[in-house]
Structure 1
Amino acid sequence: MGEAIGLLKARWKILQSLNVGVNHAPQTIVACCVLHNLCQIARKPEPVIWKDPDEVGSPARVLESERQFY
């Protein structure tokens, strides 16, 4: 999950700080997810995964059943 969020944050910079009102945050996140899926369909290259400077540790393990999404 962390890798997916990092990928979204890398592609859509607004998600790095999400400096929008509480009422607009869910719509902003959903819009970025939809646009990301369209980029995936169009086979746009994925950006380098963005990591929060406070993140430490190893990346989350990807389950075999989820591998198709990566």
Structure 2
Amino acid sequence: MAIEVPEITLGVELGCTAAERDRWGERLAAECEVSCRPLAGRPGGLALTGRAEAVEAAFRLLRREGVAAEPVRG
């Protein structure tokens, strides 16, 4: 019997243009196995969804690459 691992979603403000956000979304999806969608009401925001480890890896990649990524509350 397989154990189902729940997914989480983290809203992240990237502080960039919508085009840059879209490029980051594609890269994070490919490299970190998360799904990315624009964050409603925030042109530079992304909602990252996936296993907790994958979401954390995506956030760390953003920070490592010098993106001023900040979690969005609420």
Please confirm whether the aligned pair reaches a TM-score higher than 0.5, indicating the same fold: no
- Structure showing the higher helix proportion among its residues: 1
What is the TM-score when the length of structure 1 is the normalising length? 0.34
- Structure showing the higher strand proportion among its residues: 2
- Bigger Rg over Cα: 1
Q: Which has the higher contact order (CA 8 A, sep 6+)?
A: 1
What is the TM-score when the length of structure 2 is the normalising length? 0.33
